Structure 1
Amino acid sequence: ARSRKVSARLVKGVGLLMRQNGVEVIEGRATLCSPRAVEVALNDGGSRTVETRNVIVATGGTARTIPGIEPDGERVLTYRPAILRRELPQSAVIVGAGPIGMEFAHIWRTYGTSVTVVEMLPRVLPLEDAEVSAEVERAFRRRKVRVLTGTRVQRVERTEDGVRVTVTGEQGEQDLEADLTLIAIGVRPQSGGLGLEKLGVRTEHGYVVVDEMMRTSVEGVYAIGDVTGKMPLAHVASAQGILAVEYIAGEEPPPLDYKMMPRGVYCHPQVASFGLTTEEAVERGYEVRVGKFPFRANGKALGLGDYDGFVKIIADEASGEILGAHLVGPEVTELLPELVLARNWELTPDEIARTVHAHPTLGETLMEAAHAVFGKAIHI
């Protein structure tokens, strides 16, 4: 209930901002008639055509599903019905160990649900640094979350009491019984029915193709957010929107560097990262230095009683350039911005290390990890 109140408050706030800034909101289903006109089938009946000089497509994405396994909103769920669900399941099988799957596993397990996570790739959070993935998996196993990596879902059957999920992996074929299953394998674009094809807007696998200024293949038509397939994150969509509007207004904004975009996973322990992993940096030809500092050596983390995890900074040995950072531990999503800012302003680990950090704070781990890049960490 509280999450819905917070969401409603945020939505109301955005609506207020729209009104204060003279932005008209039309509720309905839109179709592009031309690059200069949008027809809207109004929610309250009738239609309206809006003429414009530029169009920004920001229709987002929706949950990706497994072919042959149709969600029903009750026993086979995707993330939206799962968020809105009022009853807590006694048991759940979560298909997909990406951010959505791991966040739901954390939430449900915290409230006492028996959780099994199934991931077809070799590790949880497969797009994160391998050491981060291993730390998260250890923490989840300690919390009695069953984790099955390298495992594929063969079928899902509805039973009298819930669902039966048949999977195959290292242990062969097995049936997993639960109250429900959550399909959490990512998002797909919502680009159908907009009239993009008739206008000649180029798409690939449903994603709208854009350049670095968010322009599509049709002049005057832009796209931002999940529908572009760049990075399915709210803050990325927001940055893309600002970029597109600034460009339309005649400014010359710098393009976004998607590899250096910050991202977070709100499970426990939290995960936050940006940039290259050690393996990626080596593959690109960098001579790398890695600084790593554990939270169990940090006074604030010990005082909080939450000290699993570490801060890891990856730097180029020759230039000192920060190539990436990977954090797992208490409130690391709040710590990451310092390192992103340092990277964007071309600070080196040495400059971070020489910046005095208040004690006792979790932020001291950033200073210590920066010291550790060159073997100078003090408290380990």
Structure 2
Amino acid sequence: MPDTFDLIVLGSGPGGYVAAIRAAQLGLKTAIVERERLGGICLNWGCIPTKALLRTSEIYHYMTHADAYGLSLEKPSFDLGKVVERSRKVAGTLNAGVKGLMKKNKVQVYDGVGSLMGKGKLQVRQGDKTTDLEAKNIIVATGARARDLPFATSDGKRIWTYRHAMTPEVMPTELLVIGSGAIGVEFASFYSDMGAKVTIVEMLPRILPVEDEEVSAFMEKQLTKAGITIRTGAGLEAMTADEKGVTAKIKGKDGKVEEQRFSHAIVAIGIVPNTEEIGLEELGVETERGHIKTDAYGRTNVEGIWAIGDVTGAPWLAHKASHEGIVAVEAMAGGHPHPMNTANIPGCTYSRPQVASVGMTEAKAKEAGFEVKVGKFPFIGNGKAIALGEAEGFVKTVFDAKTGELLGAHMVGAEVTELIQGYVIARQLESTEAELMETIFPHPTISETMHESVLGAYGRALHI
């Protein structure tokens, strides 16, 4: 007889395990199936361990620039093995935490590869052992994996994906980063701060192409200032690896192809959804370019089959997956959650400097037909930023000139990934410029730049 549940969650990333916990809270008998480690890619190989690495590089940057703070430090150095070990320990701690949460909430965990065997049926395979499960509802939360170059598959030695880049055995001397989205820029920032000579190649006209154009331009200036070579409008024609390094043929804006030599390369050109060989085709679950199609509550076209997270498409963010999981579970439990609104999902890049945004860029707002009011305030006008030695950056806000609606907010500089949530809450509460202007911000804090940007959109900025 199969093990029977109210809900089975296939995949235990930040979408899957959060969905399982919420289901248990609502009284649903819940199981979760994971083929590798609880917490999925984000916790074990993505969001969390990369931030541990970036924290190390941030501190190392301060060490090498101690004189700017009136401090002296002779010959700062690092142990790469210990750097990686710390990152893996952070991931291990959180993996253990998820295990504890599953136990606390009485979620049954099945280790192995799960496949849909029919409506309400799922089989778990671990080696030669198979276990049959049944449930009224199944959530597919299988996530995604790094996309390889068709002509240069990652080998873990010289050509890396993000997983290889997090556990390097040697420090790259000359590193090629292919792709300038959040992952590419974060790794470029980390390795540059740790001493590698880094080159970013991006086929689009600007780096961080989903961000506001002014943010992209500022980031290119800052990364270049940090010693990173950036080639936009450039394509990788070919790449080969040998025992000593990587040879890349790069086609520039002018159409000329140059051959360059690097010690290593990181491929950060996007992701591929994990939808193969899990039984979706047999059940007739609709997909688009490999991603599962859902409504705003996570329902697929097949009754009882739901999907959340990276497997459903952009934006490919952990917090989007978690919220989708909660919405889906509450809907299947008979509740009335708000439908998923991707316009209010913040995006964050944890490089140095950091980037954060929510809502429309200025260009997108104008394309959508809005008459806009735009405010922009530089960090150099903020006392806390100057005191921290982090005066490079700005906050930009975009408002509907007719209604005062906050259409978008865009930030670049120190700790903006922590600050952006203020604007996310404002959008969720449908705040206008009036409420934001009347809000009191503590002094001295970098958050005051947020207030000044709002004031600036209406000609009322005080400190510039």
What is the TM-score with the length of structure 2 in the denominator?
Answer: 0.80
Give the aligned partner of residue 80 of structure 1: 163
Give the aligned partner of residue 191 of structure 1: 275
Give the aligned partner of residue 434 of structure 2: 350
Q: In 2, Cα distance between the equivalents of 1:189 and 1:84?
A: 23
- The answer to whether the 8 A contact 1:36-1:55 is kept is yes
Give the aligned partner of residue 135 of structure 1: 218
Give the aligned partner of residue 255 of structure 1: 339
Give the aligned partner of residue 62 of structure 1: 145
Query: Which moved further from structure 2: 350-359 or 134-143?
Result: 350-359
The one-letter amino acid of 1:142's match is K
Q: In 2, Cα distance between the equivalents of 1:58 and 1:84?
A: 26
Q: In 2, Cα distance between the equivalents of 1:12 and 1:160?
A: 37
The one-letter amino acid of 2:274's match is Q
CA deviations 1:55-104 (Å, max 9, x no partner) are 00000000012222211111111111111224211111000011000000
Cα drift, residue 48 of structure 1: 0.4
The one-letter amino acid of 1:108's match is Y
| Structure 2: runs of 5+ lacking an equivalent | 1-84
CA deviations 1:136-195 (Å, max 9, x no partner) are 000010011000000000010123420011110125111121111110011110000101
Give the aligned partner of residue 230 of structure 1: 314
| Structure 1: runs of 5+ lacking an equivalent | none
CA deviations 1:211-251 (Å, max 9, x no partner) are 11111111000000101013110000000000111011110
Matches within 5 A, 1:163-242: 163-171=246-254, 172-242=256-326
CA deviations 1:267-301 (Å, max 9, x no partner) are 11100001111111111111100011000110000
What is the TM-score with the length of structure 1 in the denominator?
Answer: 0.98
Q: In 2, Cα distance between the equivalents of 1:378 and 1:305?
A: 22
The one-letter amino acid of 1:82's match is A
Matches within 5 A, 1:100-111: 100-111=183-194
Cα drift, residue 352 of structure 1: 1.3
Please state whether the residue corresponding to 2:110 is helix, strand or coil.
coil
- The answer to whether the 8 A contact 1:287-1:317 is kept is yes
- The answer to whether the 8 A contact 1:26-1:42 is kept is no
The one-letter amino acid of 1:151's match is A
The one-letter amino acid of 1:96's match is G
Q: In 2, Cα distance between the equivalents of 1:367 and 1:140?
A: 27
Q: After the TM superposition, which parts of structure 1 deviate over 3 Å for at least 4 consecutive aligned residues?
A: none
Please state whether the residue corresponding to 2:166 is helix, strand or coil.
helix
Give the aligned partner of residue 200 of structure 2: 117
- The answer to whether the 8 A contact 2:215-2:411 is kept is yes
The one-letter amino acid of 2:89's match is K
Give the aligned partner of residue 371 of structure 2: 287
Cα drift, residue 260 of structure 1: 2.1
Aligned residues: 379
The one-letter amino acid of 1:373's match is A
Q: In 2, Cα distance between the equivalents of 1:230 and 1:181?
A: 25
CA deviations 1:107-130 (Å, max 9, x no partner) are 000100010000000000011000
Out of 122, 135, 140, the position equivalent to 1:52 is: 135
The one-letter amino acid of 1:111's match is M
Give the aligned partner of residue 270 of structure 1: 354
The one-letter amino acid of 2:211's match is E
Cα drift, residue 42 of structure 1: 1.8
Identity %: 44
Query: Which moved further from structure 2: 49-58 or 351-360?
Result: 351-360
